[in-house]
């Protein structure tokens, strides 16, 4: 049977009114079939207070930061002009178990149209219960929200696609978690979209092909408007973004921690910062999440998991590849098989840059692997090993000599190689103990100074002129470090 083609035209934002603070909210997602969303309001909180406002991000969205010191707004007690709040429905493979989900503690206010004409979701995280909350309270604690703020800002400064945090406000209410009562907070998340692999799985699980088609068209209009081909071409674009994103994570030692299919965005942005962290000592088996007992989401597994998730996306969108199921499966399998090559391409390009290699030689992968093996054996700090290389130090003596010879075989000068390395190897990442220190000061003592100091350092991760051991050294004992979802 021929599936009817939806034509979702992005609304024309030209005559959209702009509020004094710069709000210009549109609602293209809300035009998707009813099954994808539920309208509802945030639940007001007792005593909203601003904790942090991301002024540069506000300005880039066309908002006037001086008019945004508005705790009521960022806690969900009042709404920006033109908001049409809704919770999004989705599903997901959590670990390997398929579940129907949805925004259990998030509410989308609308899509901000920037002065450049770009479209960004504005979403409150922690605004109270929704029909998808199940047994949860729909709330969030201050620590995990500030954690998301810090890590997503660090990712952005590292040049890695990510959702951003516009603001964090406290609620004056207590949220109850395993470890007792914690201060409640709401984070305002900005994302190219919140469409997840799980959103497609949701449409597929309902057996609603028209909804599936509408979602695919909508997503393509938002993220790949230039594509003219069919679903295959769109799927390749999605895959390519993921391959590049995961390679970028690997290049800085980032571990997402919960790569469930509901935490993978079609936009190719890093999303849902829960038990994530940057690795100190290099070990591909590193896991931080307290509940990841089998290491499914370990550092070294991330490319394989991304491919697994994309296979779930392919399954969910099978009817869009071809009306004949057998042919559709063939096409989908052929595409999924290309993931490894795509990932390796981006990984190798980035690793060459980290070593200052401006040309390609066949043995480069072996040179890189041999350094990683040495790092693994000696438990070398991931970030600082590469930072040391930019200063001409590091690696075993044999490896170092091999690397020097390799550098001499390329026509580029040493200066050029060093410039490339400085751009590719951060001097500063969010060290786990510095993040914890900042969160503890903010959550327990209301002291935001450590967080702001940390954010300042993380805003310039490639500034190799600063020598700040306090922010660049790993903690003395980092073994067994665990992070929690904060749910």
Active site residues: 262
Which residue's CB is nearer to ligand AMP, number 11 or number 172? 172
Contact segment (CB under 6 A) with ligand AMP among 98-106, 339-347, 393-401, 404-412 equals 98-106
Stretch that binds ligand AMP, among 100-108, 200-208, 234-242, 433-441 (CB under 6 A): 100-108
Binding site for Mg ion (CB under 5 A): 262-263, 272
Q: Tell me the residue ranges of DSSP E strands in 223-290.
A: 254-255, 277-278
CA distance linking residue 381 with residue 378, whole number of Å? 9
Which partner, ligand AMP, Mg ion, none, binds residue 138 by CB below 5 to 8 Å per kind?
A: ligand AMP
> Sign (positive/negative) of CA torsion 389, 393, 394, 396?
positive
- The H or E element spanning position 318 is helix 318-321
Task: Compare residues 63 and 141 and give the one whose CB is closer to Mg ion.
Answer: 141
Closest to 44 in 3D by CA, of 133, 158, 173: 173
Judged by CB under 6 A, how many residues of this single chain contact ligand AMP? Answer: 19
Q: Closest distance between Mg ion and the C-beta of residue 309, in Å? A: 13
Residue 364 CB contacts under 8 Å (≥ 6 apart), including other chains: 348, 351, 352, 355, 357, 406
Residue 101 engages ligand AMP in binding (rule: CB under 6 A): yes
Among 138, 268, 275, 474, binds ligand AMP (CB under 6 A): 138
CA angle in degrees (0–180, nearest 5) for 278-98-337: 70
- Which of ligand AMP, Mg ion, none is residue 419 near (CB under 5 to 8 Å by kind)? none
Per-position x/- string for 264-283, each x denoting binding to ligand AMP as judged by CB under 6 A, each - no binding: --------x-x---------
For Mg ion, the nearest residue by Cβ is 272
- Residue 274: contacted member of Mg ion, ligand AMP, none (CB under 5 to 8 Å, by partner type): ligand AMP
**Each residue of 326-352: b (16+ CB within 10 Å) or e?**
eebeebbeebbeebeebbeebbbebbb
198 binds ligand AMP (CB under 6 A): no
The residue among 290 and 413 lying less far from ligand AMP, judged by its C-beta, is 290
Nearer Cβ to ligand AMP (58/108):
108
385-392: which pairs have CB atoms within 8 A and are 24 or more residues apart? 385/282, 386/354, 386/421, 386/424, 386/425, 387/425, 387/426, 387/427, 387/464, 387/472, 389/354, 389/355, 389/356, 389/421, 389/425, 390/356, 390/418, 390/421, 390/422, 390/425, 390/464
CA dihedral 97, 162, 87, 24 (to 10 degrees): -160
The pair of structure tokens assigned to 145 is 């929200």
Does residue 392 bind ligand AMP (CB under 6 A)? no
Q: Binding segment for ligand AMP among 77-85, 131-139, 322-330, 446-454 (CB under 6 A)?
A: 131-139
Range in contact with ligand AMP (rule: CB under 6 A) among 155-163, 225-233, 257-265, 282-290: 257-265
Write down the least CB distance from residue 43 to ligand AMP, Å.
Answer: 12
Q: Is 139 in the site for ligand AMP (CB under 6 A)?
A: yes
Going by C-alpha positions, the residue among 336, 338, 318 that lies closest to residue 328 is: 318
Interaction partner, residue 386 (Mg ion, ligand AMP, none; CB < 5-8 Å by kind):
none
From 11, 44, 82, 104, residue interacting with ligand AMP (rule: CB under 6 A): 104
Q: Which stretch binds ligand AMP (CB under 6 A): 32-40, 134-142, 222-230, 332-340?
A: 134-142
Is position 136 an interface residue for ligand AMP (rule: CB under 6 A)? yes
Cβ atoms of residues 397 and 335 within 8 Å:
no
Residue 150 interacts, among ligand AMP, Mg ion, none and using kind-specific CB cut-offs from 5 to 8 Å, with: none
Which contiguous run of DSSP H or E holds residue 150? helix 142-157
Binding site for ligand AMP (CB under 6 A): 101-106, 132-133, 136-139, 258, 262-263, 272, 274, 485, 487
């Amino acid at each position: 049977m021929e599936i009817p083609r939806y034509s979702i035209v992005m609304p024309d934002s030209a005559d959209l009114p702009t509020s004094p603070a710069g709000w210009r909210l549109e609602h293209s997602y809300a035009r998707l079939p009813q099954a994808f969303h539920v309208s509802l309001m945030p639940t007001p909180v007792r005593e909203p207070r601003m904790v942090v406002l991301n002024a540069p991000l506000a300005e880039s969205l066309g908002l006037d930061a001086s008019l945004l010191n508005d705790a009521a707004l960022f806690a969900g007690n009042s709404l920006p002009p033109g908001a049409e709040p809704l919770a999004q429905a989705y599903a997901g493979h959590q670990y390997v178990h398929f579940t129907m989900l949805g925004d259990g503690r998030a509410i989308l206010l609308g899509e901000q149209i920037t002065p450049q004409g770009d479209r960004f979701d504005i979403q409150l995280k922690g605004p109270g219960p929704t029909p998808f909350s199940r047994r949860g309270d729909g709330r969030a604690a201050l620590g995990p929200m500030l954690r998301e703020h810090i890590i997503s800002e660090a990712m952005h400064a590292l040049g890695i696609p990510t959702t951003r945090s516009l603001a964090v406000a406290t609620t004056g209410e207590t949220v109850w978690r395993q470890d007792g009562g914690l201060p409640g907070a709401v984070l305002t998340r900005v994302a190219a979209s919140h469409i997840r692999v799980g959103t497609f799985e949701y449409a597929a699980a309902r057996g609603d092909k028209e909804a599936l088609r509408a979602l695919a068209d909508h997503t393509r209009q938002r993220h790949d408007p230039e594509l003219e081909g069919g679903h295959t071409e769109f799927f390749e674009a999605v895959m390519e973004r993921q391959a590049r994103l995961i390679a970028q994570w690997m290049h800085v030692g980032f571990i997402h921690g919960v790569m469930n299919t509901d935490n993978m965005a079609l936009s190719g942005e890093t999303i849902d910062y829960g038990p994530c962290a940057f690795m100190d000592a290099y070990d591909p088996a590193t896991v931080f999440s307290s509940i990841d007992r089998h290491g499914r989401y370990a550092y070294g597994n991330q490319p394989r998991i991304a491919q697994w998730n994309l296979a779930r996306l392919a399954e969910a969108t099978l009817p869009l590849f071809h009306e004949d199921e057998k042919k559709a499966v063939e096409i989908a399998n052929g595409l999924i098989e290309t993931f490894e090559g795509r990932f390796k391409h981006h990984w190798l390009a980035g690793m060459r840059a980290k070593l200052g290699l401006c040309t390609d030689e066949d043995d480069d992968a072996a040179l890189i692997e041999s350094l990683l093996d040495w790092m693994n054996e000696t438990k070398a700090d991931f970030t600082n090993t590469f930072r040391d290389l930019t200063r001409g130090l590091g690696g075993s003596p044999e490896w170092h000599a091999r690397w020097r010879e390799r550098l001499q075989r390329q026509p580029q000068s040493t200066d050029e190689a060093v410039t490339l390395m400085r751009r590719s190897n951060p001097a500063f990442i969010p060290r786990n103990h510095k993040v914890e220190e900042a969160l503890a000061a903010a959550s327990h003592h209301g002291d935001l100074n450590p967080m702001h100091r940390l954010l300042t350092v993380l805003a310039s991760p490639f500034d190799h002129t600063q020598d700040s051991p306090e922010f660049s050294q790993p903690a003395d004992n980092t073994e067994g470090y665990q992070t929690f979802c904060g749910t």
